[in-house]
Amino acid sequence: MRAGAPADMIRGMARQDRLRRISQAHDRRRSGPGIRLWRKLAIWLLYPRRDRGFWYGFAIDVLWPVLMAVARWDFRGGRQVPTSGGALLAVNHLSHVDPIVLVSYVMAQGRVPRFLAMKELWGMTVVGAPLRGGRHIPVDRRASGVEAYRAAVEAVRRGEVVVLYPEGGFAEHSDGWPRAARSGVARIALETGAPVIPVAQWGSNHLLPPSASRPTLFPRATLRVLADPAVALDDLRAGRIGRRALHEATDRIMGRITEQLAVLRGEEPPRPESRETADTADPAEPAVG
């Protein structure tokens, strides 16, 4: 086993490198057209099969071809997702289908994402098994959120890619621009020193509108995802993590997400609203639910 381990590692790194090259080659095409079918199939064949847990992996394998069939993909900026090590992906929230889209996006870069989700989902028959087996993080909205915060910090330090939605949810009636954000992602970033990758998405709200109970299959939605380089937060990590640092970090993160969303939408964003990022804000916000 010792002799084989380095060879397995080399093969795994080569597989990941090939996967990322295939996925990121889409960036060279003009914005708008979806990823070509052959490229999505190649990604499907090469994406990680290990370290997913049985039911999480089963859900990915089932939902991937479904998502390929019902929507176009325009995934860009995947090179910003680190090839290894802990990282936080901060994403705007539009629809219940968002986590499925982000799983596809992150898996296309050779990483297995972990999510924060409402604790109540752990007890559900269909959803609970993938959450329990996939090392995702439960959030008890009736409690302080400290346990979820500690679990997220531990996951990042363990080298996981953790996806968070700083808005904490989405509105049924909204213009789609980011709303006031909570301070959880900023707090975790300042505590761990992990990079925060700002990610914008658009189109999941067309595939499954917030107020809809079933997806819109015609016309086919285009799921657009765009990541930008990590947000600069090093100057805020010195000293105590207080209200001012959390407020500034949250504003920087949400500002960068909004900038990327403006690129995807081809529109100017509205003027930023004042965001409540006090120390009393929930330290962790669920990515699902």
DSSP 136-160: -EEE-TTS-SHHHHHHHHHHHHTT-
| Burial label, 134 (beta-carbon count in 10 A; 0-12, 13-18, 19+) | buried
Q: Tell me the two tokens of residue 227.
A: 């990541």
Average pLDDT per consecutive 10 residues, the chain (289 residues; last block may be shorter): 66 94 94 92 95 94 95 97 98 96 97 92 87 90 83 96 92 88 94 97 96 91 97 89 93 97 94 50 51
Q: What is the largest CA-CA distance in the chain?
A: 58
Q: Which residues, including other chains, have CB under 8 Å from residue 76's CB and lie 6 or more apart? A: 26, 27, 31, 224, 225, 226, 227
- Can you say whether residue 76 is alpha, beta or left, with left for phi > 0 and alpha for psi between -120 and 50 degrees? beta
Task: List C-alpha distances in Å: 256 to 110, 180, 202, 212.
Answer: 24, 14, 15, 29
Instruction: State pTM to two decimals.
Output: 0.91
Q: Which pLDDT value is given to residue 278?
A: 39
Q: Where are the domains of the chain?
A: 4-265
Q: Which CATH number fits domain 4-265: 3.30.300, 3.40.1130, 3.30.429, 2.60.40?
A: 3.40.1130
Residue 283 confidence (pLDDT): 47
Q: What is the DSSP string of the chain?
A: -TTHHHHHHHHHHHHHHHHHHHHHGGGGSPSSSPPPHHHHHHHHHHS--SSS-HHHHHHHHHHHHHHHHHEEEEEE-GGGS-SSS-EEEEE----TTHHHHHHHHHHTTT--EEEEEEGGGGGSHHHHHHHHHTT-EEE-TTS-SHHHHHHHHHHHHTT-EEEE-TT-S--SS--SS-----SHHHHHHHHH---EEEEEEESHHHHS-TT-SS---SSPEEEEEEE-SPP--GGGSSS---HHHHHHHHHHHHHHHHHHHHHHHTSPPPPPPP----TTS-S---SB-
